[in-house]
Amino acid sequence: MSSLLLISTIIAYILSLVLSIVLAAFSTKLKQVAFFYFSWLHTVLFMIAIAFYFLFPGSSFQQYSCLVAFCTGIIPSLWALRGKYIHKFSKVYFGIYLTSVIFFVTSPSALFYSISGNWKHFRKADEFLLKENCYLTEQTSMLQQNDEQVRYKIIKKYGIYNKTLARNVNFHSRLDSVKLLKFTDETIELRGFNGSDSIDQAIRPGMKSSITKKIKTSN
């Protein structure tokens, strides 16, 4: 996802939520015909987004049309739920858009990739178990990264909470696997594997980057 599309997606989504709250506040003063026209507008934009998905896959037309169609589904969602004159089908349909708030809180990157039509490009962060409750996990970025830009962090899991022990661990490539060599309060030593290459890293907990590095190539 490009930086422009990411910024546009975040702004559009938040503005849609704000407009949804505003419309909900004035829903008792709004007429049923206004909701009817807005529903038709959303339907037209939704059909355009579907057409662009098949005609221009991966293009800016497809991405932004998908974003606009989704946002026009969020805007009347609270209005639909509060309006006494609105059909139950419309309440359920637009209510589904409102459930995106759950993903906005739990996994915003997955949400923004999806509503901008880039769901095929979304990938979960790699995670490797080092020892009990301790993991080396990829630092996620909503922008597209090449393998050399990938950074990792070491975390310790406490139920639903995570404690970060080290950030910005750089192996200069995306890892296939990792081996824990040493784990103390002062130093964490790892060996990362990418194909036939292995890279040793010694990290001091609390530091943002590695303090020593050794690259090996197996024969």
C-alpha–C-alpha distance, residues 118 and 138, integer Å? 20
| Residue 148 pLDDT level (bands cut at 50, 70, 90) | low
Q: At what angle do helices 60-74 and 3-25 cross, to 10 degrees?
A: 20
Do 112 and 173 reside in the same domain of the chain?
A: no
Q: Is 93 helix (H, G, I), strand (E, B) or coil?
A: helix
pLDDT tens, position by position, 14-72:
999 999 999 999 888 888 889 999 999 999 999 999 999 999 988 999 999 999 999 99
State mean pLDDT over 105-121: 86
The two three-digit tokens of residue 150, written as one number: 């990938």
Give yes or no for residue 96 having a pLDDT over 50: yes
How confident is the prediction for the chain on average, in pLDDT? 85
Cα atoms in the Cβ-side hemisphere of radius 13 Å centred on 13: 24
Amino acid at 202: A
- Of the three residues 121, 156, 177, the one that is the final residue of a domain is 121
Contacts of residue 123, Cβ cutoff 8 Å, sequence gap at least 6: none
**pLDDT given at position 218:** 45
Give yes or no for residue 208 having a pLDDT over 80: no
C-alpha–C-alpha distance, residues 189 and 74, integer Å? 48
pTM greater than 0.85: no
**pLDDT given at position 201:** 86
Do 109 and 32 reside in the same domain of the chain?
A: yes
- Of the three residues 59, 88, 121, the one that is the final residue of a domain is 121
DSSP code, position 170: -
Do 16 and 31 reside in the same domain of the chain?
A: yes
| Residue 219 pLDDT level (bands cut at 50, 70, 90) | very low
Among 211, 185, 182, 215, CA closest to 197: 215
Do 73 and 133 reside in the same domain of the chain?
A: no
| Residue 207 pLDDT level (bands cut at 50, 70, 90) | low
The two three-digit tokens of residue 96, written as one number: 């589904």
Do 134 and 190 reside in the same domain of the chain?
A: yes
**pLDDT given at position 210:** 40
Amino acid at 163: K
Do 138 and 92 reside in the same domain of the chain?
A: no
Do 71 and 172 reside in the same domain of the chain?
A: no
Give yes or no for residue 94 having a pLDDT over 70: yes
C-alpha–C-alpha distance, residues 114 and 164, integer Å? 28
Do 99 and 149 reside in the same domain of the chain?
A: no
Whole-number CA gyration radius for the chain: 23
The two three-digit tokens of residue 86, written as one number: 């609105």
Torsion, CA 10, CA 76, CA 104, CA 54, rounded to 10: -70
| Full domain range(s) for residue 13 | 3-121
State mean pLDDT over 158-170: 84
**pLDDT given at position 143:** 61
Task: Give the count of domains, the chain.
Answer: 2
Do 8 and 92 reside in the same domain of the chain?
A: yes
Do 108 and 7 reside in the same domain of the chain?
A: yes
**pLDDT given at position 141:** 65
State mean pLDDT over 64-89: 93
Do 7 and 108 reside in the same domain of the chain?
A: yes
- Of the three residues 121, 155, 172, the one that is the final residue of a domain is 121
Give yes or no for residue 184 having a pLDDT over 90: no
Do 19 and 97 reside in the same domain of the chain?
A: yes
